[in-house]
Amino acid sequence: MSDPYNLARSILQKIACTLSATGSLMIASQVLQKKKNRVKLQQIILLAISFCDFVSSSAWIFTDFLMPPKGNQQSCDAQGFLLQFGNSSNMMLMVSLQVQYILVIKYGWSDRKLDKLKPYFLSLPLGFGALTATVSLVLKLFNPAYWDCWLMPYPADCTSTYEIKHGMSDLEESNCVRGDNAFIFQWAFFFAPLWAATVICFVVMYKMTKSVEEAEKKTARYSGKSNRNVQSKRRQSIQAINSEGRLTLTELESTLQDGKIELVLTKRVKLQCIMYAIEFFVVWGFKSIARLIKLFGFTVPPVLFPLAAFFLGSQGLWNALIYFRPKYSTLNEDHWWQKVWIIVRSSLFCCTKNRRSGGSTVCSIMFGSARSSFGAIKRSFRGATAGNNNNVVDNIARTDKNIGDSFGKGDEAVDVEAHENVGLE
């Protein structure tokens, strides 16, 4: 790779990883600040995703100092372990997040029933990352790659045992000093699970979107009725869907008075689903394209390296933009930078006096309850009793209580208060 592309890769990667790590810290702060978030499966998964992204981003920020010649084999192993653990766990946690969505929205799972599977939602992705990283470390697979230390043979052009056994070389034994058959482990430990996770996420989000559309049609049948119970049910449904789209009170009342559910509701839910799908695809898309090009024997265009480095390192940034987007839309500030500052201040500069907590600092609340948060994660591995299923319309009506979304809940969106009380406390 030529020097201009290498320089662009180095600069873009550090910028993206710094923003990504910052975004992950902001999400983690929001999850830990609120008691209801610290015990909710969906928020705990997002906390785990942010943790894994922070690990990966931090390892990439210092990649020039960890890779030889500036670094040594020990630092290279450390970076490889962190990247393999963080990235592989991250993509599996995204699958957990999407599966959790569809279990609640489409199949009506309650919190109690989800608690029974909570160990699997967390332990399987994190266990997969830890296991593959440990095996790779033991087999000495972590060696200098293109821009980091990862699963690579050393020297890079050495002949593997697999190639010798299949008659691809005249050598009698492998001349790889480290990382023999590393390319096989790349597929087994990363690319195959990555592409499987991508397919699963798209399928889940498609099914969830169809469920919301069907629920909207069923709910709209009651639009002409004036029965108080029916109106209450419709209001709950709108508020639940609103947790995805952040309608104002005026819009809610207008929808009820008109006696119909506007198509915009479904479109806003679909938008959130599509945003997660696009983010997951784009972040890993350039690296996957480069892998496919190399798989078919072509030369990878140099421009793909800085693009892949930038988007791989920016996942936490996109997660934060999606997470805080509904909060941003509820703010009444005149300028966009004022809205951004309110969100950043409540997340990164949370050690300020909080009037709601009687003068206590937000940090004392957040970190004082961190032990209980991780205790809840630990207790989740004991399981819980299952609850009963409800129909799809009822599922939408109580989505706000079960999962909401990764960025704030319906009641807070409808009942907007002043700047410091906008639901970011």
The label of the residue with tokens 């421009």 reads: 303
**By the 8 A CB rule, do 259 and 226 touch?**
no
**What is the pLDDT, as a whole number, of residue 85?**
95
Rounded CA-CA distance 223/216 in Å is 11
**By the 8 A CB rule, do 88 and 189 touch?**
yes
Nearest of 408, 384, 383, 416 to residue 119 by alpha carbon: 383
Rounded CA-CA distance 19/49 in Å is 15
Q: Does the structure show a pLDDT above 70 at 424?
A: no
**By the 8 A CB rule, do 399 and 114 touch?**
no
The beta strands (E) that lie in 27-147 are given as 142-144
- Please, what is the average pLDDT of the chain? 75
Rounded CA-CA distance 260/219 in Å is 9
Mean pLDDT throughout 96-104? 83
Share of the chain above pLDDT 70, in %: 68
- pLDDT tens by residue, 24-78: 999 999 888 888 888 888 889 989 999 999 999 999 988 888 888 888 999 999 9
Q: 187-196, 318-327, 390-399: which has the minimum mean pLDDT?
A: 390-399
Highest mean pLDDT of the ranges 103-112, 134-143, 219-228, 321-330: 134-143
Residue 352 φ then ψ, to 5°: -125, 165
Mean pLDDT throughout 226-236? 52
Nearest of 42, 116, 60, 23 to residue 379 by alpha carbon: 116
Q: Does the structure show a pLDDT above 50 at 425?
A: no
Q: At what angle do helices 3-33 and 315-330 cross, to 10 degrees?
A: 50
- pLDDT tens by residue, 185-210: 999 999 999 999 989 888 887 887 77
Q: At what angle do helices 192-220 and 263-295 cross, to 10 degrees?
A: 170
Phi-psi category of 333—alpha, beta or left, where left has phi over 0 and alpha has psi -120 to 50? beta
End-to-end Cα spacing for the chain:
48
Structure tokens at 333: 């500030």
Q: Does the structure show a pLDDT above 70 at 242?
A: no
Q: Does the structure show a pLDDT above 90 at 127?
A: yes
Structure tokens at 188: 């087994």
Q: Which one-letter amino acid corresponds to residue 421?
A: N
CA 262 to chain CA centroid, Å, is: 29
Per-residue b or e along 240-257, where b marks 16 or more CB atoms closer than 10 Å to that residue's CB: bbbbbbbbeeebeeebee
Contacts of 116 (CB under 8 A, 6+ apart): 383, 384, 385, 386
Q: Which one-letter amino acid corresponds to residue 254?
A: S
pTM given for the model: 0.74
Highest mean pLDDT of the ranges 77-91, 214-228, 348-362, 369-383: 77-91
Q: Tell me the C-alpha to C-alpha distance, in Å, between residue 296 and each of 207, 244, 290, 299, 300.
A: 33, 41, 10, 9, 10
Q: What is the DSSP letter of 361?
A: B
Give the model's confidence band at 220: pLDDT under 50 very low, under 70 low, under 90 confident, else very high.
low
**By the 8 A CB rule, do 194 and 308 touch?**
no
Q: Which one-letter amino acid corresponds to residue 349?
A: F
**What is the pLDDT, as a whole number, of residue 253?**
52
Rounded CA-CA distance 276/96 in Å is 13
Side-chain-side CA neighbours of residue 237 (13 Å): 30
Which one is predicted more confidently, 300 or 425?
300
Contacts of 182 (CB under 8 A, 6+ apart): 141, 143, 151, 152, 153, 160, 176
Q: Does the structure show a pLDDT above 60 at 183?
A: yes
- pLDDT tens by residue, 261-279: 444 555 565 666 677 778 8
What is the β-pairing status of strands 149-151 and 142-144?
antiparallel
Q: Where are the alpha helices (DSSP H) in 139-227?
A: 161-165, 182-186, 192-220
For residue 178, the cross-strand partners are: 154
For residue 353, the cross-strand partners are: 361
- The 3-state DSSP class for residue 178 equals strand
Nearest of 211, 43, 74, 199 to residue 142 by alpha carbon: 74
Q: Does the structure show a pLDDT above 90 at 105?
A: no
Residues 80/45/121/137 CA torsion (nearest 10 deg): 10
